[in-house]
Amino acid sequence: MIETSNHSKVFIIIPVFNEKRVIRKVIDELLPYRYRIVVVDDGSDEDIRSEVNDLALVTYLRHKANLGQGAALQTGIEYALQQAADYVISFDADGQHASNDIPRMLEPLIDDSADIVLASRFLLKGSHNASWIRHRVLIAGRWISYLFTGIYLSDAHNGFRAMNRKAASMIRIQENRMAHATEIIAQVKKNKLRYKEIPSTVLYTKYSLGKGQSPIQGLKIFFELVLQKLFK
């Protein structure tokens, strides 16, 4: 476990777009750990600020326009580094991730056996309630990610990640939309960062399923990656 005195050096980045219905519940589950929480409002139409204004450990940042999850993550990472963060965690705003997985995600960073830790719902001791179709889409996604990055992960499109300061400083997200997940993995390889997968829980609710990535969006990501490969 991380020492209590160092909790302020752990920053949790939560990209938010119109998550007023659930964001307070997500944050309330994180607050007992005493980590610094950075909510990056990616141009929401809803009043997200009012949900977090009264919370001392929460910093609220806002994009004037909706730029995409990748851009929101990059904004949060840059802010955390400016605040002398030792560890940076990306965490989804829709409630599908489990806050009690965070200490286990930090362990390889603290003992210096990894620079970036990637959560996996598919490893032994991981769990999920994804539908058969969604499961198959995620399996296809990890092979597509391998095709473009050369790194095979059991869960390539899990938004729950933990990085040490070195990794956070070296990863520069340029894909503003959902293709950023594959871009991050590609930069892990390019920068020769040590990585490790850790079992985690992903529990979809009716709400998170409505907000999540559909098979059609998955195809759009694939074509974004193809265009990136061809023209960069």
- One digit per residue, the tens of pLDDT, for the chain of length 232 reads 555 446 789 999 999 999 999 999 999 999 999 999 999 999 999 999 999 999 989 999 999 999 999 999 999 999 999 999 999 999 999 999 999 999 999 999 999 999 999 999 999 898 888 777 877 777 777 888 888 888 999 998 899 999 999 999 999 998 766 678 889 999 999 999 999 999 999 988 776 666 655 555 555 554 455 445 544 5
- Counted domains in the chain: 1
**CA–CA separation, 179 vs 176, rounded Å?**
8
Give the CATH number of the domain where residue 146 resides: 3.90.550.10
Q: DSSP of 58-91, one letter per residue?
A: EEEEEESS---HHHHHHHHHHHHHHTT-SEEEE-
Are the CB atoms for 81 and 68 separated by under 8 Å? Answer: no
What is the pTM (predicted TM-score) of this model? 0.85
Residue with tokens 């730029």: 67
Domain residue limits at 9: 4-231
How many Cα atoms are found within 13 Å in the side-chain-facing hemisphere of 216? 0
